[in-house]
Chain A
């Protein structure tokens, strides 16, 4: 199929067909002969306006594995940004130094502005509470790899569903497939109403519950999330809900056969370490899949993967 998108900014920009194409490309690149030369001579610029070591390393690793090189900053202090340069100006300058740009920014919409400004492809590595599309794609890739399909599954999302952009994007993407969704959260951290309305409008079979045990019994995928302290406007609210869902290996004894446990990482205490050795745990594999998924995206956007 023709993939005519220049950038990866929001999961909302993609059709089911385009998402499947990107996932197929990841599968293809994983076993590709000579992939270490695929992006030779290409430069990736990583502009990280807020720290996210893991995401940055994942992108850099992806570029290096394909034979390309990287440049950029992981902290805007000391750069022209700290001198008050606008984002558009920074992008115009950096696109002259690189073939593709990955941007992480605390302000929502920054990646879209970068894409509207730049002639080179832009990949959004997180813009505030809005989008982190490559996380969603690697999540889908992990589901596909571990379950062999995306249709006909029950996916339970657990934890902070109110502030967690990861679960918002994942729910949106899964709504393109035949997926049953279970949202497990305390009342104060439930999925936002506008997203629930959107999912219902698309005919998604969804259930909201506060019981993690119930979800474990019927889910094929258990997507755990950290309750993120930094997203809470009120620390008192955070203290009330932290540690409310902790998954242990004992709890998995009632799980549906073949249940896979995912987590975008880092975890704090929501998954006990005794889960790590179970057949259910796929979260470290999920992080590794992130590199493969990003390799595929870099190769697609740079026109080296058809």
Chain B
């Protein structure tokens, strides 16, 4: 059977082990539209660990810290590979930070952050399963409550 090979990139970033259902969400976080670089997005690839996974490769992209944190929240098992001259020079497992500043919207509609122009802040009480508490309204939320800014 013929298989479509996705070519390796010379310089850039590869995000691997994204749960398939979040592949396009991760692409959205990276805001790839209009980027003048090589971009490949693959999803529903077979994975021993995840069942189906996604991979995103972007030429020459250095990820912003806030984007890495957002990806860690929705795809905590994803890995980040930095490529130079077709070689992986650095491989990082994403980590959910202890404090999330301004990257998610509070899921409590009666929270002050949804009433005044304010940066949200959450404290991560548990990383697995994810449990976060709003600095302001103190409401506890899970992964499925997360809405990224």
> B138 contacts which of A10, A87, A88, A106 (Cβ < 8 Å)?
A10
Contact B112 A112, beta carbon cutoff 8 Å:
yes
Residue from B112, B116, B134 having most chain A Cβ neighbours under 10 A: B112
B94 within 8 A of A: no
Contact B108 A108, beta carbon cutoff 8 Å:
yes
A107 within 8 A of B: yes
Contact B111 A109, beta carbon cutoff 8 Å:
yes
Surface stretch bound by B, among A67-75, A124-132, A151-159, A270-278:
A124-132
> A87 contacts which of B111, B112, B134, B135 (Cβ < 8 Å)?
B112
Which residues of chain A are within 8 angstroms of B139 by Cβ–Cβ distance? 108, 130
Q: Which of A86-137 contact B (CB under 8 A)?
A: 86-88, 106-110, 112-113, 127-131
A304 within 8 A of B: no
Min distance, Cβ A214 to any Cβ of chain B, angstroms: 30
Contact with A along B49-73 (1 / 0, CB 8 A): 0000000000000000000000000
A residues contacting the other copy or chain, number (CB 8 A): 18
Which residues of chain A are within 8 angstroms of B138 by Cβ–Cβ distance? 10, 12, 108-109, 130-131
B7 within 8 A of A: no
B residues contacting the other copy or chain, number (CB 8 A): 16
Contact A108 B116, beta carbon cutoff 8 Å:
no
Contact A110 B112, beta carbon cutoff 8 Å:
yes
B1 within 8 A of A: no
Contact A107 B140, beta carbon cutoff 8 Å:
no
Contact A109 B140, beta carbon cutoff 8 Å:
no
> A108 contacts which of B110, B117, B140 (Cβ < 8 Å)?
B110
A194 within 8 A of B: yes
Report Cα–Cα, A128/B108, bound state, in Å. Answer: 11
Report Cα–Cα, A88/B139, bound state, in Å. Answer: 21
Contact with A along B112-141 (1 / 0, CB 8 A): 110111100000000000000011111110
- With A10-B138, A113-B136, A130-B138 as given contacts, are A107 and B110 in contact (CB-CB < 8 Å)? yes
Which residues of chain A are within 8 angstroms of B117 by Cβ–Cβ distance? 86
**Chain A residues with a Cβ under 8 A of chain B:** 10, 12, 86-88, 106-110, 112-113, 127-131, 194
The 4 closest A-B pairs by CB, nearest first: A109-B136, A108-B137, A109-B112, A109-B137
11 A-B pairs besides A109-B136, A129-B110, A130-B137 with CB distance below 8 A are A12-B138, A87-B116, A109-B111, A109-B112, A109-B135, A112-B135, A112-B136, A113-B116, A113-B118, A127-B137, A128-B110
